[in-house]
Chain A
Amino acid sequence: MEKFSGKIWVLGDDIDTDIIIPTEYLALKTVKDMAPYAFSPLRPELAAQIQEGDIIVAGKNFGCGSSREQAPEIIKTLGIKCVIAKSFARIFFRNSINNGLLLIENDKLRDVVNEGDEITVTINESIEHNGSQYPITSLPQNLVDIINAGGLVKAMRKLNGLD
């Protein structure tokens, strides 16, 4: 099973899509241009601090609000390897898989971690933090394939031999 470790950023409950990317920046040309403003209503400095391979750990209802697909795309562009939350809003959940962003539901981890901690995720098995293991549910292989390809459109292009 695929395994990776990363430093975590900790966020609260109900992180909505307007926090992830405020409306005023949606007119920018690319998600790369938008990424520096991610989470800016809540933590303006956060986007610049996130490094490739970092992990977000959040509370309940992560991604609630709009269907704007730029939200998961930007989190991925920042280099976030996966988001672990107590629960995800459903439109955001589908959008994340379609854009190749791995989401993991776990209702215990958020309450025991501190920002900057390092955790290890073994896909479809568990999360390890400070010697404790937190079991996670597994995603079906077809969804894992879409995530690994970088999203649904990229997976289709790969399947059709375009990339």
Chain B
Amino acid sequence: MGMTIAEKIIAAAAGAESVKPGDIHTVELDRLMSNDGTTHLTIDMYHQLKNPHIADVNKLVWIVDHNVPCDSVKTAASHKKMRDFAKENGIKFYEGAGVCHQVMIENHVTSGELIFGADSHTCAYGALGAFGTGVGCTDYLYAMVTGHSWLLVPETLKFNLTGKLKEGVYARDLILSIIGMIGANGANYMAMEFSGEGLKTLNMSDRIAICNLCVEAGAKTALMEVDEITLDYLKAHGREPKYSFKSDEDAHFAKVYDIDLSTIKPIVAKPHFVDSVVDAKECVGTHIDEAFLGSCNNGRLEDLRVGAELIKGRKVHPLVRFLVVPASAEVYKQALSEGLIDTFMEAGAIVMNPNCSVCWGSCQGVIGENEVLISTGTRNFKGRAGHKDSFVYLASAATVTASAIKGEIATADMLE
């Protein structure tokens, strides 16, 4: 029996010839990412151990991104704990460089690696053909101290992509459609694998957006076949693949979905569930108070270009706050040199430093009672962006920008 990409990566990391779904294996981790969401808790537990030590410090990357710059004395204390520990132990440390997953993809991740991240959206690394999976801080600590962990080999759902997205339709619309189709736990414990001719029409930014959101269907990881686009990205960033895996012809998939990209339409996920998706047209006219263009899902240069093109020569609606947050310092610099930041500011947008921002409901742009946010963020759970009685709609960069201009939910084709 052949193996899927997920099975091949686990087999390599476990030193096993072959693995099958349901097996539990001890695996060697290639990288361990942690951010300021929970690293302070990991450090507290580390000090409770009998012989605290780090198995291989070169595998660790710590990134401050959830509250940047620091917004309170309390978070300043947890950042200081993280910063001091990183310095003392020689851990690679970033602060202000961007959202952790974007920073990891720009600087560290390569194809075929097995990576634990103490953040649920670690599955984004599948865009580069790496097995990234989110863990809590205790699992992180165990891996940090021992260098390994245990993993249950997941079943794989295969998404065979054909065709091409129509103009005005984006990767965000595709992944929201898929989550709507399989449900918020439709891939629970499973890997979601993407392949097919349609994949070749999706650039690296699209691929990251798709893999990043797979945890919202419950997936353990997301994986894409390594191809020219992957290899070009790695080469441009000075890295080589560890492995370039493809699933075998006779690999076992729990289910195969055929998706024709040309059938996808602009989509909105309504409050308070990511799988509560509808055709964006059904939400047109819904009042909004704030719009957010950013996050590890849609804060890359490609997303900012889409937004800037729509808003050029137009204005943000006077009753709307439009937050634009590049996903990394690298993205920010490129956006500056392309004039995108000027365009947003001339239109009246609030451009912020790279960080998680309102996507995680702290630090910046939090919304008040009964307020409505339309966002390219990752989640729309009840209270996610602020007050417990507030509302978050998720959509593409185009729909979010069009809505910021109109002052209510609108699709890009509605702009005069």
The A-B contact count (CB < 8 A) is 117
Sample 6 A-B pairs with CB under 8 A, ordered by A number: A61-B185, A67-B119, A87-B188, A91-B120, A91-B134, A153-B45
A43-89 with Cβ < 8 A to chain B: 44, 60-61, 64-70, 87, 89
- Contact-residue size bin, chain A (C-beta under 8 Å from the other chain): 35 or more
Contacts of A19 in B (CB 8 A): 381-383
CA distance in complex: A2, B360 (Å): 40
Q: B185 to A60, Cβ gap below 8 A?
A: yes
**Interface SS, A side:** loop
Which residue of B is nearest A159, CB measured? B50
B135 contacts partner chain A, Cβ-Cβ < 8 Å: yes
Contacts A24-B361, A69-B38, A153-B45 known; A91 to B74 CB distance under 8 Å?
A: no
CA distance in complex: A70, B37 (Å): 10
Contacts of B142 in A (CB 8 A): 152
B164-186 with Cβ < 8 A to chain A: 184-185
- Beyond A23-B361, A64-B185, 13 additional contacts (C-beta under 8 Å) are A18-B381, A19-B381, A22-B388, A23-B362, A41-B382, A61-B184, A66-B37, A67-B37, A89-B218, A90-B188, A95-B138, A153-B141, A157-B48
Distance from B396 Cβ to chain A, minimum over Cβ atoms (Å): 21
**Interface SS, B side:** loop
User: B195-208 CB contact bits vs A (8 Å, 1 = yes)?
Assistant: 00000000000000
Contacts of B218 in A (CB 8 A): 61, 64, 89-90
Contacts of A65 in B (CB 8 A): 120, 379, 381
Contacts A68-B38, A160-B50 known; A94 to B381 CB distance under 8 Å?
A: no
Q: A67 to B134, Cβ gap below 8 A?
A: yes
Which residue of B is nearest A95, CB measured? B136
B49 contacts partner chain A, Cβ-Cβ < 8 Å: yes
CA distance in complex: A157, B220 (Å): 29
Q: A94 to B360, Cβ gap below 8 A?
A: no
Which residue of A is nearest B49, CB measured? A156
